[in-house]
Amino acid sequence: MSDTTQAQSGAGQAWPPAPAASARAARRMLGFAWAADRRLAAAAFVLVAVQALASSLLGLWLKLLVDSITSGRAGAGALEAGLAIAVSIAAQAAAESADSQVRITLLDRTKHLLDRRLLELVGGTPTLVIQETPRHLRQLELLQAESWEFGAAVPAVLNSATTLVRILITLILLASVSPLLLALPVFGLPIVILSRYTAGLFSTGSELAAEPSRRAEMLYYLAASRPAAKELRLLRLPVELQRRFAAEHDEIRRIHVRLNARGIMVRLAGRMLFLIGYFGAIVLVTHQALAGTASIGDVAMTAVLAGQVLTLVTGSAEEAQTLLRTLTAAARYLYLEQVTKPSAAQPSGGAAVPLRLTDGIRLEGVSYTYPGRAAPTLQDVTVRLPAGTTVALVGDNGAGKTTLVKLLAGLCTPDCGRILVDGTDLARLDVADWRLRLSAGFQDHARFEFSLQRALGLGHLPDLDDADAARTALERAGAADLPAALPAGLATQLGPAWPGGTDLSGGQWQKLAIGRAMMRADPLLLLLDEPTAAIDAQSEHELFTRWTRAARRLRERSGAITVLVSHRFSTVRMADVILVLQDGRICEQGSHDELTAAGGLYAELFELQARAYR
Amino acid sequence: MSFLRSPRHAIRRTAIRVLFRAFPREASALALLAALTGALPAVFAALVGRLVGEVPVAATAGAGHQSAQPLVGTLIAMAVVLVCLELAAGAQELISTDLYRRFDGYLLGRVMATALRREDLQLADDPELAAMVDRALRAARYGPGELVSGLSSQWTARAQGLAAAVLVGYYRPVAAIALTLVWLAVARALQTSYYEASPFWSDPLRRAAYLQDIGLRPHWAKELRIFGLVGWLAREYSREWTEVMTWLWRARRIGRIRMTILAALLLAVHVIVLALLARSAAAGALHAAALAVIVQGLFGMAMIASQNGDPWIENGSVPVPDVLALEQVVQPGRSGGASAAGLPRESIGFCGVGFSYPAGNEAVLAGLDLSIQAGTSLAIVGLNGAGKTTLVKLLAGLCEPTAGSIMIDGTPLTSLDRLSWWRQLAVVFQDFVRYELPLSDNIGFGSVERAWDDQAIRNVAAMAGAADLVASLPAGPGTTLSPRFEGGVDLSGGQWQRIAFARALLAVRGGARVLVMDEPTAHLDVRAEAELYERFIELTAGLTTIVISHRFSTVRRADRIIVLEHGRITEDGSHEQLVAAGGQYARLFQLQASSYHGGTGE
């Protein structure tokens, strides 16, 4: 389309094109306003029209007033014209105030709707396509940073509409004086053409400043980060961090000022051309008045309209900037919508998730490469996870363990090959249903700052506020003592930033995350990705014993599979099946005894760790 | 809700004062240009009046050259005004952009400086102060620079309105005064209703914003999907939002009545003024030229009530008081004067040290007596929450003991110069920082006072087992360690751990004599951990080393091991001694050992 050419430069042939302001974005924003509150949206447009009319017609009333006095008819019609002026001024003020109220409410509602849609869009995408594609993630970050602009898209569109109506009325009035004055739009043409260039400058500016802005922001939050506080001080970094922050901001300022200056120059050139036209108009009408073909009122009106158009042009430049900025933000939203469509539109549903596993989960020739990376993280993995077993994944950092976990959870889809759950392709299962039978604990777990009860309950929403379920889950996670360690037990608000909130230690957060993973009483697949790195030996041991017990119970009931990623071989050896990954491939598999007997990589790694305990 | 009645004008005045104090020249230039762009339209209006007066004169005089001369002069003046207006507006925008960015960086820089001013952990540990820091930090979300854009457009509007009032006042002073008063009342009403209508900076919406934020956090995306939380988050978000907004919508209705009355008043005053004008014009007492000027003035006076730029001013100024309040509260900490260079030569001593957090009811450490001989290694073992990390913070002087004292070679830690003591320490915290900066900074920060060349960085990286990592980086040590930046790379937990270790090793090369490692191998895989400990003795030679770990592979290599329980030392000795003693240590060790060497591991 028309807007792709300039904004995309440098982005190569990437799809979809980098977001840029477009008519489509404007239409979608208005659609949102309409969906948010039809009555208010309609009212906003009516008020826009009233304001535009009231302000544009002032020129006409002035003409009538001046004409009535200078015509020599001794002020006939002067009173009427005066009253019209009074009404126009008051109506404009009233409409403006009503408009600001309507608009703010509309803005609130629209912003809320947009935020909610964005949340549902980003959060509702079943895979991690946005989070794991740097290009997409960048758009999301930019959109979040511009959330204010995103919300302001609707008012910006309204403002531009007002300006448009005013320009239209002004042109009609001018035409009534002399059709020649209709040539004026030709003089305005350069402004319109050049505005595309200045808009390009604006997006170039934010693109150029994006990197230093992100760095400045990173430094800013680093300086105030509570976990980092001790290290920053010990390392004597405060002065250095501030120096760098100031340097980044200087860079940001220079970029903006440089591009802004260029934009102003270009726009100034455009406007000067327009002013020539307008000045010509005044001269023309004055000339006509001298020749007697135009009234003195016409001269006054043309000049006033000139003054008004002057403010219109001055104002519209700013409006256009705001509009472009907001529409660029809106276009980012459309971009995200576009890139999530394929993943959201996956043929999901068809097949039902089995009540219990009988065969297990099979991977057939599964490969996966992260977006934007050259080397595959998993390559041609074919393996069976038998129903009712505990499967441990071991291997060096970067061997592909976590990726395998993500694939099993349906968070990524294999580039080739398939994953079969009791013979049914995972891609054909209903994602939501599959997730209901899935639970997981991660090393990089979320730290939900709700009450302890809710932070646990989120692991199984039907039991969100069920204290018994929460306690049972903590019990399973070997963390039954966690509530007692907190000031208000399960009701304790987590997170020191909230009123009365308590911070947890790293180990406590981790136990909480494991507890959350234990909220689902009956999962088919439990994924535990290094969830115990921050937990001491004794707790860890207790935990694993419990898990083994719980896994056995689940196995009998539903053929459930537990997948465990760990570096601790004392745990790993308890697993029924151990898969050893190396460079994205499975290089060994079997039980602990089989693998140690085989004398391969597993045996070597086990021996390395076991040595410490002789 | 009190936030609706907060003294906003005082907040604005404060913000504007901060702006002028920091950038007096730029801010004054902006104000002058704004006044100019505001006044020029009035000049133009006056010229239109002159034109209206001159045209009939010239027309009746025929095409006589002499009488047309002033008319040409007026036309030229109009052209000049139009061009000047454009130039002034351009200059104003440029200065506004520049000052916007300057103020942004300036105010956020002040927040940063305050957050870093305290040398101990008071800001992080005191919940009340932490909340204040959080409030001040929010300045970044509002964008303080918006104050500048807002002022720029508001000053212009005010100047325009007042210049128009002068036009009217030149001919009809009483009408000008009356109308100015009415417009000021309108301005007030508009402003109030605007405030009442804008919840964006208010606290109550924070919960809603948090719920939305959670849904967008990339790092939490896995759990959100697995637990199917998005629908719930969206619903909760809407619920919290609606609760606050319902209240606000009710408050907004009050403003409507007031505006209706004012609109009626506005109409009445204008009707009177214009009726009087029409009468005197009809009576020939007022020329068309004057009338044209007055009417244009009447149009222009509406700008007195203009709220252009108001939201930006609001956004930009709201966080300023929070920033100032924090600065007031946060004073730099105390530090001793004695240099710590070369310490410790003999020992580090904890004498009856006790510690409890201000908010905590239980003591983290109680009556701890411990003497660490310089040049030896000590391992600390204990369950989570036994006070191990607190011990490190105390040793670093990041918190002060609530009882007892810490002595370095017999000198109390409190009488040592903080910065010089910190130069003696190389610490790898459990939650070490992952700087989203180049590798050279990530390692170089270990000894920030010196400039380290790439070779030095490569050397310590190799010592920490990260030689392959450095070799694989696209831009070598200059590579940024974050995928969020151009050409940046993402590191795994294990790779980060090596970087953190390399940072500590660089600190040692920079002169640090005490190496403290808190769970230094938590993120390392088996092989890397084993490799690291192969060289443990070599790496720690000559240093006083303190290791905190759950892993016996780590702990057993230390010269001496202590077991911490409930803030006290319960066991003390070498690995062999403690295993032989059959206490808690022996029990934990057996537990682990049996899971490796026992039959089934259960």
DSSP for B394-440, please give it.
Answer: HHTTSS--SEEEEEETTEEGGGB-HHHHHTTEEEE-TT----SSBHH
Output the pLDDT for position A11.
38
- CB atoms A303 and B78 under 8 Å: yes
Residues in chain A within 8 Å Cβ distance of B333: none
B192: confidence class by pLDDT, cuts 50, 70, 90: low
Output the pLDDT for position B67.
66
Residues in chain A within 8 Å Cβ distance of B223: 440, 442, 445-446, 516
B2: confidence class by pLDDT, cuts 50, 70, 90: very low
B358: confidence class by pLDDT, cuts 50, 70, 90: low
A1: confidence class by pLDDT, cuts 50, 70, 90: very low
Cα–Cα distance for residue pair B296/B303, rounded to 1 Å: 12
Q: Say what percent of chain A tops pLDDT 70.
A: 91
Out of B101, B214, B593, closest to residue A613 by CB: B593
Comparing alpha-carbon positions, the chain B residue that sits nearest to A249 is: B105
> Is the CB of B153 inside 8 Å of chain A's CB atoms?
yes
Number of neighbours of residue A463 by Cβ within 10 angstroms: 20
The sign of the torsion formed by the CA atoms of A274, A275, A280, A286 equals: positive
B439: confidence class by pLDDT, cuts 50, 70, 90: very high
Residues 213-252 of B with CB under 8 A from A: 214-234, 237-238, 241, 245, 248-249, 252
A315: confidence class by pLDDT, cuts 50, 70, 90: low
Output the pLDDT for position B219.
81
Cα–Cα distance for residue pair B216/B233, rounded to 1 Å: 11
- CB atoms B288 and A506 under 8 Å: no
How far is the alpha carbon of B130 from chain A, nearest alpha carbon, in Å? 7
Output the pLDDT for position B25.
96
| pLDDT value at A125 more than 90 | no
What's the whole-number mean pLDDT along residues A60-77?
80
Cα–Cα distance for residue pair A199/A324, rounded to 1 Å: 7
Helix axes B310-317, B146-171, angle to 10 degrees: 140
Say which amino acid occupies B375: G
Of B392, B341, B339, nearest in space to B121 by CA: B392
Number of neighbours of residue B204 by Cβ within 10 angstroms: 16
| pLDDT value at A519 more than 60 | yes
- B253: which residues sit within 8 A by CB, 6+ positions away? none
- CB atoms B55 and A443 under 8 Å: no
Alpha helices in B481-522 (DSSP H): 493-509
| pLDDT value at A30 more than 90 | no
Rounded to 5 degrees, φ, ψ at B544 are -90, 115
> Is the CB of B581 inside 8 Å of chain A's CB atoms?
no
B301: confidence class by pLDDT, cuts 50, 70, 90: very high
Top-confidence residue, A139 or A594: A594
Count of CB pairs separated by less than 8 Å, A with B: 487
Cα–Cα distance for residue pair B8/B19, rounded to 1 Å: 17
| pLDDT value at B577 more than 70 | yes
Number of neighbours of residue B65 by Cβ within 10 angstroms: 9
> Any idea which of A372-381, A461-470, B105-114 has the lowest mean pLDDT?
A372-381
Contact A26, A155 (CB under 8 A): no
Top-confidence residue, B500 or A192: B500
Mean of all residue pLDDT scores within chain A = 84
Output the pLDDT for position A5.
34
Residues in chain B within 8 Å Cβ distance of A102: none
What's the whole-number mean pLDDT along residues B411-438?
92
| pLDDT value at B602 more than 50 | no
Residue from A51, A233, A454, A481 whose CB has the most chain B CBs within 10 Å, to mutate: A233
How far is the alpha carbon of A464 from chain B, nearest alpha carbon, in Å? 10
Cα–Cα distance for residue pair B546/B372, rounded to 1 Å: 9
Out of B109, B200, B221, closest to residue A131 by CB: B221
Helix axes B8-22, B24-60, angle to 10 degrees: 100
A555: confidence class by pLDDT, cuts 50, 70, 90: confident
| pLDDT value at A177 more than 80 | yes
Output the pLDDT for position A452.
94
Residues in chain B within 8 Å Cβ distance of A250: 105
Alpha helices in B126-283 (DSSP H): 127-137, 139-142, 146-171, 173-197, 206-216, 221-226, 230-282
Output the pLDDT for position B3.
38
> Is the CB of B115 inside 8 Å of chain A's CB atoms?
yes
Rounded to 5 degrees, φ, ψ at A594 are -60, -45
What's the whole-number mean pLDDT along residues A455-475?
93
How far is the alpha carbon of B4 from chain A, nearest alpha carbon, in Å? 16
**Which three-class secondary structure state does DSSP give residue B177?**
helix
Top-confidence residue, B463 or A371: B463
Cα–Cα distance for residue pair B68/A202, rounded to 1 Å: 47
Q: Which residue bears the tokens 């602990």?
A: A592
Between the two ends of chain B, the Cα-to-Cα distance in Å is 59
| pLDDT value at B123 more than 70 | no
A7: confidence class by pLDDT, cuts 50, 70, 90: very low
Of B454, B115, B449, nearest in space to A237 by CA: B449
Output the pLDDT for position B5.
43
- CB atoms B588 and A256 under 8 Å: no
A346: confidence class by pLDDT, cuts 50, 70, 90: low
B113: confidence class by pLDDT, cuts 50, 70, 90: very high
Cα–Cα distance for residue pair B490/B473, rounded to 1 Å: 10
Out of A299, A442, A496, closest to residue B130 by CB: A496
> Any idea which of A101-105, B413-417, B430-434, B587-591 has the lowest mean pLDDT?
A101-105
**DSSP assignment of B298-355:** HHHHGGGG--TTHHHHHHHHTTHHHHHHHHHH--PPP---B--TT--SSEEEEEEEEE
Output the pLDDT for position A322.
76
Output the pLDDT for position A349.
59
Output the pLDDT for position B270.
94
pLDDT in tens, A363-375: 999 999 988 778 8
Contact B271, A86 (CB under 8 A): yes
Residue A424 pairs in a beta bridge with A421
Top-confidence residue, A283 or B519: A283
- CB atoms A231 and B432 under 8 Å: yes
- CB atoms A101 and B298 under 8 Å: no
Output the pLDDT for position A265.
92
- CB atoms A286 and B55 under 8 Å: yes
Of B595, B432, B584, nearest in space to B520 by CA: B432
| pLDDT value at A10 more than 50 | no
Residues in chain B within 8 Å Cβ distance of A496: 127, 130-131
> Is the CB of B135 inside 8 Å of chain A's CB atoms?
no
Cα–Cα distance for residue pair B533/B530, rounded to 1 Å: 5
Q: Which residue bears the tokens 């991660």?
A: A442
What's the whole-number mean pLDDT along residues A263-278?
88
Of B177, B155, B471, B488, nearest in space to B313 by CA: B155
Say which amino acid occupies A596: T
> Any idea which of A39-48, A283-292, A321-330, A448-457 has the lowest mean pLDDT?
A321-330
Residue B368 pairs in a beta bridge with B353
- CB atoms A112 and B229 under 8 Å: no
All domains of chain B, ordered by start, with CATH? 2-329 (1.20.1560.10), 346-417+546-602 (3.40.50.300)
Alpha helices in A351-451 (DSSP H): 401-408, 431-436
Q: How far from chain centre, in Å, is Cα A45?
A: 29
| pLDDT value at A15 more than 70 | no
Q: A352-437+523-614 in CATH: which number?
A: 3.40.50.300
> Any idea which of A46-60, A143-157, A460-474, B92-106 has the lowest mean pLDDT?
A143-157
CA dihedral A238, A243, A244, A245 (to 10 degrees): 80
Q: How many CA atoms lie within 13 A of A405 on its CB side?
A: 28
Class of residue B9 by CB neighbours under 10 A (exposed 0-12, middle 13-18, buried 19+) = exposed
Residues in chain B within 8 Å Cβ distance of A398: 492
pLDDT in tens, A413-458: 899 999 999 989 988 888 888 888 999 998 888 999 999 999 999 9
- CB atoms A314 and B85 under 8 Å: yes
- CB atoms B252 and A105 under 8 Å: yes
Number of neighbours of residue B5 by Cβ within 10 angstroms: 9
Query: How is residue A359 written in tokens?
Result: 């065969």
Would you list the domain boundaries of chain A?
20-178+313-341, 180-293, 352-437+523-614, 447-521
Out of A62, A115, A268, closest to residue B292 by CB: A62
Between the two ends of chain A, the Cα-to-Cα distance in Å is 71
Residues 32-91 of B with CB under 8 A from A: 37, 41, 44-45, 48, 51-52, 55-56, 58-59, 63, 68, 71, 75, 78-79, 82-83, 85-87, 89-90
Output the pLDDT for position B524.
77
Query: How is residue A347 written in tokens?
Result: 């043929």
Contact A482, A514 (CB under 8 A): no
| pLDDT value at B600 more than 50 | no
| pLDDT value at B220 more than 50 | yes
- CB atoms B75 and A69 under 8 Å: no
State how beta strands B411-412 and B365-373 pair: unpaired
| pLDDT value at A235 more than 80 | yes
What's the whole-number mean pLDDT along residues B349-371?
83
Output the pLDDT for position B372.
93
> Is the CB of B570 inside 8 Å of chain A's CB atoms?
no
A603: confidence class by pLDDT, cuts 50, 70, 90: very high
What's the whole-number mean pLDDT along residues A250-265?
94
**Which three-class secondary structure state does DSSP give residue A386?**
strand
Rounded to 5 degrees, φ, ψ at B408 are -110, 115
Q: Give the single-character DSSP code of B219.
A: G
What's the whole-number mean pLDDT along residues B550-560?
83
